[in-house]
Amino acid sequence: EDGSRVYCKKCEEPVPGTHTFCDHCGVLLLGAGTDDAPECAEHPDSPAMAGCIMCGKPVCTECANEIEGKYFCNNDTHYNLHQDYAVVYRSSAEYEAEMIRANLESAGIDTQLFDQHGHVYFVDIGEMALVNVYVRKDEIERAAEIVQAILNSPPLEDDVDPSGEKA
């Protein structure tokens, strides 16, 4: 454990200690079959063994789709988005993600926004839910440079009226 982070036993990636599923592979961090495991969204009598890495939907052994070591729900769109796109920015604030998206699209980069606020099934995590900005994998480097430039730009000063006083 590294502060508030734990390491997934399956993929060995760091994950916030408060998460139920690994963000990287979807595996249940608590250990499948324990009393702490959430129930499967499709089969309420079955404990979840993973969560879709795109939407967080809990899945049991019957409905989990493991592809290349990552778990997905039965929504094919989630796997396809994961295959062709990569996350360039994440935020818990939708307006921040929308701002990044608008800047990337004005630079001619195709973006997809995936908001977990409306897709998290096992708990209502409110502000902790992520809004991910995805770009095509072949545009990730250019998009990351644009995002970094936005994040490193100085904050805008308050508007000043012609008399020199702050508005």
pTM: 0.59
In which residue are the tokens 């969204």 written?
Answer: 41
| Residue 3 per-residue DSSP state | T
What burial letters (b/e) apply to 20-44, b meaning 16+ CB within 10 Å? bbbbbbbbbbbeeeeeebbebbbee
Count CB neighbours of 114 within 10 A: 21
The one-letter amino acid code at 77 reads T
Enumerate the H helices of 17-113 as residue ranges. 76-84, 94-106
Residues in the chain predicted with pLDDT less than 50, given as ranges, are 1-2, 31-33, 119-127, 159, 167
Q: What is the pLDDT of residues 59-102, one digit of tens each?
A: 999 999 999 899 999 887 788 777 788 889 988 888 999 999 99
